[in-house]
Amino acid sequence: MKKLTDKRTKISNNKINILTKFPENEDFEIVVVGAGISGAVIAERCARILRKKVLVIEKRYHIGGNCYDHFDKKGILIHKYGPHLFHTNYENVWKYVKKFSEWCKYEHKVLSYVDKKLVPIPVNINTVNILFGEHIKSENEMKKWLEKKIIPITNSKNSEESAISRVGKELYEKMFKFYTKKQWNLWPSELDASVMNRIPVRTNYEDRYFTDKYQFLPKDSYTKMFNNLLAHPNIKVLLNTDYFKVRKKLKKAKYLFYTGQIDRFFNYRTEKGRERLPYRSLRFKFKTYNKKYFQKNSVINYPEKKPSFTRIVEYKHFTKQKHPKTTISREFSKSKGEPYYPVPNPKNKEIFERFKKQVDKLKNVFFVGRLANYQYFNIDQTIKNALDLFKEFKKNIKE
């Protein structure tokens, strides 16, 4: 991979100030709950730009949230919570992250195992040719093929309508219907159109999963990048600590930034009584093989009823790491466990809005990130959400 370094930026080599116990005799003006993307960005901005003392409280044993990566027992760099890929068109986001890491060019491609064949996803000309034995050669021919297959729906009400209005019923059945069921434990017809709208459809040979202007991975690791974000003398990090068990000790803090589940913050209570927002979680089954590579691509999806896992990820494809062995993970979706994805549908939006009403009544408490906003943010969207919130916060406290 081609390495990209921003020579104007001096990457920090300092260590994070990790606390071994709750700082009983120390006051912090700002408390940040969560050391993932949102929390790390907010903490860094408040410490560096506003020169405030910041305490970051993290319930896990590590920083980085779901982006956390590490070397396994065989010495292979893996992503503990599944692959996380940085891509963006936001100039301010790219300018910001370059301050905290050197970056390597990486353009993500995904294959899907359908009808005992490996086909590109997003759907493109090659996908159709391989699956249906077609001989499409041009974008115009591909558009005509799709026009014959799709069922026109102007305003898709759910993900099933979104899919069949863009790729038709055959491709929907083969590539999306059961994959969605395995991933969400809901049929596409039970999910907002926004879920399927995230998946692009191509009428050419483009097989990159993303087409953003900036597509990179941290040269060393995401964890190293988070270390650089949080390695500021004004920041202290308390790991292995549940915020809700120590919140009463934080009354002197003037401002709170919360990145966790919005319903958990209010003890699952709204004006209608006790309510919970559903989230999808994941289970990873890691295995190391005594071979250079296990599969021909970093990610291969399995969208059919069986097997029960949704995809296999091979991490050496991301890093181009030289190692005689390789580690993969099979990914299983589940309803309980660490929350990864909000479940977008009308019912859950209504529940979220009831919690949001309570958020709006709070003073000096700010909700930021995927779980706090109950939105399916990408990495760059999460960073932008935090940067935008900080910009507004900075303006208000100076007024």
Q: What is the mean pLDDT of each run of 10 residues along the chain (399 residues)?
A: 42 77 92 98 97 97 96 96 97 98 96 98 97 97 96 92 95 96 94 90 96 96 97 97 95 95 96 95 97 97 97 94 96 93 93 96 96 96 98 85
Q: What is the pLDDT of residue 396?
A: 85
The three-point CA angle 373-376-380 to 5° equals: 95
Q: Please report which residue ranges of 187-281 form alpha helices under DSSP H.
A: 193-197, 222-230, 243-246, 262-265
Q: What is the pLDDT of residue 7?
A: 38
What is each CA distance from 316 to 302, 320, 387, in whole angstroms? 20, 5, 32
What's the CA gap between 305 and 290, in Å, rounded?
Answer: 29
Q: What is the pLDDT of residue 140?
A: 97
Class of CATH domain 3-106+214-272+344-398: alpha beta
Q: What is the pLDDT of residue 264?
A: 97
Q: What is the pLDDT of residue 398?
A: 67
Question: What is the side-by-side strand order in the sheet with 117-121?
Answer: 117-121, 110-114, 299-301, 311-314, 326-334, 279-289, 341-342
Q: Which 3 state secondary structure label does DSSP give 188?
A: helix
- Give the number of other Cβ atoms within 10 Å of residue 349's Cβ: 14
What's the CA gap between 169 and 148, in Å, rounded?
Answer: 11
Residue 155 φ then ψ, to 5°: -120, 95
Q: Could you tell me whether strands 77-79 and 269-270 are parallel, antiparallel, or unpaired per DSSP bridges?
A: unpaired
Q: Could you tell me whether strands 103-105 and 86-88 are parallel, antiparallel, or unpaired per DSSP bridges?
A: unpaired
> Quick one: which H or E segment has residue 145?
helix 139-149
What is the residue whose two structure tokens read 């026009």? 147
Q: What is the pLDDT of residue 391?
A: 97
* pTM for the whole structure: 0.93
Q: Where are the domains of the chain?
A: 3-106+214-272+344-398, 110-197
What is the residue whose two structure tokens read 């506003």? 50
Query: What are the residues whose beta carbons fall under 8 Å from the beta carbon of 35, sequence distance 6 or more?
Result: 43, 56, 58, 60, 62, 63, 64, 65, 226, 230, 237, 239
